[in-house]
Amino acid sequence: MTILIDTPATSTTRGTRSRCDTELDTELDMGLDMGLDMGLDTGLIEEPFADIVDDLTRRGLIGIGLGGAATLGLAACGGSGSASGDDTSAAAGTRTISTAKGKVEVPATPTRVVCIHPSASATLYDLGLTPVGVYDQGSSYISPRYLTTWNAAPKIGSDGELSLEKIAALNPDLILGEDFSWNTDSYAKLTALAPTVIAPVTSWEAAARTTADAVNRTAALDKLARQVAARSAQIERQYADLLGRYRWDILQGGFDAGQFWLYGPACDAGRILAGAGVRFAPSSKAVKGAGDKVYSYERIGLLDDADVIGYYSNYDGTPNNEAPELFAQAAYQALPAVKAGRTVPLPDFLPGGYGDALALLDELETGLAKLAGL
């Protein structure tokens, strides 16, 4: 779910001049000096994409210019401050970072960031930054922590498709995605619009780190990582008796009728839960690797081994996707954990960043408190 940390409001006092005001004036001056003549070279861009770029350039939507500079300042001040890094003073210039596509040169102070993958948006929100454009995976999958901000952002794609024209119209100075084909298939065209950072998908932590590095916020990410470690240790200490008593299976209803998806300790949620002391039942332990194992409803009895069932849920705790059908099965209702009321909803089961990890730990603690009262 992409995607505990609210994007804080810009710290300004009514009637006083803020840092954002100063940055905006500076960027307006830059726009006046530079003019509107910084369009993209479309010579190497195939049709019809070149037509899109040419049209947007003529309309002043690609290039810096006065209008672009004004927007840069507003975007920079849209969250907790500019989209520049907290690791350096980050004067004008560029930095070179490592990505899934090799070394990429990025702005030292990116201010108009477009996120083409939900996890990139999640990490920016976690860091207190506001992207100027985001991918639309559906509002039901957006954490309430960021929903208002996400709703307000222009959407640049959905259903595994990206709109290059919508991305170009936002005049990005940085594009953030992940190493999935629906992000990388358009990589050459995206790089014609702005430096494009594709994060590796070896783990959610690795993806978050590359994203944070792209906006020069690794120090802030390190702070979030320490918060996750401290929170995990606190839960493991506080609930040691319960965690030692119960074994968990973790699952989701999936998207295919008549089937459910079982996960193990090596999946993203499993590693976070295990870090807080959760122990897994044999069926979940048998799922190797970071993925899931698909079972038909005829195999629901596998879950007999669980003292607790953790399941991917909506943010109101109700089962999502095909889980209502699963939960309605007589075999599911007959499971020992279900009959005892030991089921735990986990809305942030698919973490997109450290905010989700912290939220998942909160959901675990809520579940443990429930188990303690049974």
Taking only the tens place, the pLDDT of each residue in 16-34 is 222 233 333 333 333 333 3
- The letter for the amino acid at 48 is P
β partners of residue 199: 178
Give which of 225, 210, 223, 222 is closest to 95, Cα–Cα: 210
CATH number of 19-216: 3.40.50.1980
The phi, psi pair for 71, rounded to 5°, reads: -65, -40
* Tokens linked to 320: 């999502």
Residue 148 three-state SS: helix
Same fold for the pair 19-216 and 223-372: yes
The residue type found at 200 is P
Q: What is the tens place of the pLDDT at every residue in 319-346?
A: 999 999 999 999 999 999 999 999 999 9
The answer to whether residue 185 scores a pLDDT higher than 60 is: yes
Cα 300 to Cα 92: distance, rounded to the nearest angstrom: 58
Calculate what percentage of the chain has a pLDDT beyond 70.
75
Q: Which residue has the tokens 């099965």?
A: 329
Distance CA 147, CA 139 (A): 7
Question: Each residue of 46-70: pLDDT tens digit?
Answer: 444 454 444 444 333 343 332 333 3
Whether the CB-CB separation of 248 and 308 falls below 8 Å is answered with yes
Q: What pLDDT does residue 341 have?
A: 97
> CA of 265: how far to CAs of 110, 271, 280, 324, 348, in Å?
37, 6, 7, 24, 16
Domain ranges of the chain: 19-216, 223-372
The fold adopted by the segment(s) 223-372 is Rossmann fold (3.40.50)
Which pLDDT does position 74 carry in this prediction?
32
For tokens 């989209």, name the residue. 83
Gap between the Cα atoms of 295 and 260, Å rounded: 6
